[in-house]
Amino acid sequence: MSSAAGSSITVPNLLEGEKDTVLSVLGGIYEHSSWVAEAFYESKIANCGADNATTATGSSGNLENVRHLFDAMSAIVDDASQEQKMELLRAHPDLAAKVEKLKTLTKESQEEQGRADLDTLTDEERTKFLTLNESYRTKFGFPFILAVRNASKHTVLAAVEGRIGNSAEVEFAAALAQVHKIAWMRLLTAIDTPDPTGFLTCHVLDTANGCPAANMRVQLHRLSPPETAGLVAEFVTNDDGRLPGGPGLKGKDFQVGVYEWTFFVGDYFARKGTYISGTPFLDEVPIRFGIDDPTEHYHVPLLVSPWGFSTYRGS
């Protein structure tokens, strides 16, 4: 029942686990704060009897997937006292230390922060960052926390610049939101989700002609993570401007990552006779977007004329 290093465990298996297993899997979800995992174990698993995990699931009504697990753990944090929350914030590593050496971080923090390109900071940027970081800690009393995997140095600098102006109340809430987000990301790694419920759909509307863009070629590429990057699939839209055969991505393929649609808009309008040109204003239209939650529906449509387009996260 123990989980080998690097492997992951399903929610049902976790719920059937011994306390040791549960704590080893969930103890580091909230940074240096295994009390969250312990409280979760006590309230959700222990009191249901060791031999009856399904009752635990049943009694909670919905401890069936990673989202439910997150909801239960985050509720424990939200119900904690102001002092406990502050302690949780303070338990996070200071990015400044990271700039020197990678030592006091939990293994999850190491992995996340290690990938950021903070090592490429110029001296000027390093000074700017350390100064901002110090001001932040002095003003708020806890370290700067950012829930972004593989963030560029630009993103980290932008975020600390943006948040340092917040009032104490607003930043306390913002930092807690980051902590929850980090927990969510760690859960997605720690827990095996055998059958992601999320999926990706598309719809192309021709706003020059007021109709679905039928018969348009569309490609989907995964840009990251690098291990599975590449062309995912090629489609031709149906009469309603949608992908034939349902979602463009679902199940195991619906991975957290960065994706890009390529819409062959020039060909489409050439076929419509609406517009042709030597070098069309719009020909191959890329739409780059991130999938962050493997349990949700991502609808990423295109509204397009020969002279402009829109996209958005739809439903």
Q: Which of 42, 111, 161, 234 binds a copy of itself (CB under 8 A)?
A: 161
The tokens of 4 are what?
A: 């080998």
The tokens of 31 are what?
A: 């940074």
Spell out the residues 6+ positions from residue 101 whose beta carbon is closer than 8 angstroms to its own. Answer: none
Q: Which of 86, 126, 256, 295 binds a copy of itself (CB under 8 A)?
A: 256
Q: Which of 158, 234, 251, 252 binds a copy of itself (CB under 8 A)?
A: 158
Q: Which of 42, 71, 78, 195 binds a copy of itself (CB under 8 A)?
A: 78
83 binds a copy of itself (CB under 8 A): no
169 binds a copy of itself (CB under 8 A): yes
What gap in Å lies between CA 221 and CA 127, rounded to an integer?
38
19 or 149: CB nearest a copy of itself: 149
Question: CB 221 → a copy of itself: shortest distance, Å?
Answer: 12
The H or E element spanning position 109 is helix 107-115
The tokens of 26 are what?
A: 């969930």
Q: Please say whether the beta carbons of 105 and 94 come within 8 A.
A: no
131 binds a copy of itself (CB under 8 A): no
What gap in Å lies between CA 71 and CA 55, rounded to an integer?
18
Nearest residue to 219 (alpha-carbon basis) of 265, 282, 251, 276:
265
Buried b / exposed e along 108-121 (16+ C-beta atoms within 10 A): bbeebbeebebeeb
152 binds a copy of itself (CB under 8 A): yes
Q: Which of 154, 195, 228, 251 binds a copy of itself (CB under 8 A)?
A: 154
Tokens 């807690």, residue? 176
Question: CB 132 → a copy of itself: shortest distance, Å?
Answer: 12
Question: CB 45 → a copy of itself: shortest distance, Å?
Answer: 27
Q: Which of 155, 197, 219, 295 binds a copy of itself (CB under 8 A)?
A: 155
Q: Which of 46, 148, 229, 232 binds a copy of itself (CB under 8 A)?
A: 148
Residue numbers 210-229 binding a copy of itself by CB under 8 A: 210-212, 217
290 binds a copy of itself (CB under 8 A): yes
Contacts with a copy of itself by CB under 8 A: the residue count is 75
Q: Please say whether the beta carbons of 174 and 163 come within 8 A.
A: yes
172 binds a copy of itself (CB under 8 A): yes
Tokens 């790694």, residue? 189
